[in-house]
Amino acid sequence: MIQQIYPCVPHHYRYELNKDFQFAAAHYIPDEAAGKCARLHGHTYFANVTVGGDQLDETGFLVNFSEIKKLIHDRFDHTSLNEHTDLFHERSAESYPTTENVARIMAELVQQYLDNKGNGAECLQIFLRETPTSYVVYRPKAGRA
């Protein structure tokens, strides 16, 4: 089972939920500067999604753990990230499937789901490990005034 200490995100919500899961995916970074990563290769990504909120739903959930996993896992597992052209493309570096961009897009997908759910929950952090030695932490609200 995935067991790891993740960085804490500061917030004032009463509830904080975390969901760990993994997915296997291929990708390449479409830029020669990426070196060996410009060639198609694969990873088992390990993800931790952090959601905060004050209001539970009628089931007593902030959000169903399994829905958080499904949102990302069902979409990306055993796929090539570069083929998700609705999310990733080669026209700008902000849309290359780098760990940073994958983490940000995961946060956006989770937040869209939470917005539709309607109990004010918020995606606070994505921890995304691409290799045993490389990971990114993305916090949607960090850097805002």
Ligand X SMILES: Nc1nc2c(c(=O)[nH]1)N=C([C@H](O)[C@H](O)COP(=O)(O)OP(=O)(O)OP(=O)(O)O)CN2
84 in a labelled binding site: no
95, 101 in Cβ contact below 8 A? yes
89 in a labelled binding site: no
Interface contacts to ligand X, rule CB under 6 A: 29, 37, 98-100, 130-131, 133-134
**Angle (nearest 5°) at CA 91 between 138 and 49:** 20
CA distances from 100 to 20, 65, 74, 119, 135 (A): 18, 23, 20, 28, 9
Catalytic residue among 37, 73, 100, 108: 37
Q: Which of residues 16-45 bind Zn ion (CB under 5 A)?
A: 37
- Please identify, using beta-carbon distances, which residue of 37 and 136 lies nearer to Zn ion: 37
The binder of 44, among ligand X, Zn ion, none, by C-beta within 5 to 8 A per type, is none
- H or E segment to which residue 131 belongs: strand 122-131
43 in a labelled binding site: yes
Catalytic site includes residue 37: yes
**d(C-alpha 57, C-alpha 72), whole Å:** 21
Catalytic site includes residue 12: no
**d(C-alpha 29, C-alpha 52), whole Å:** 32
- Positions at the binding site: 27, 41, 43
Catalytic (active-site) positions: 37, 78, 130
- Chain positions contacting Zn ion, by CB under 5 A: 37
- Positions at the binding site for Zn(2+): 27, 41, 43
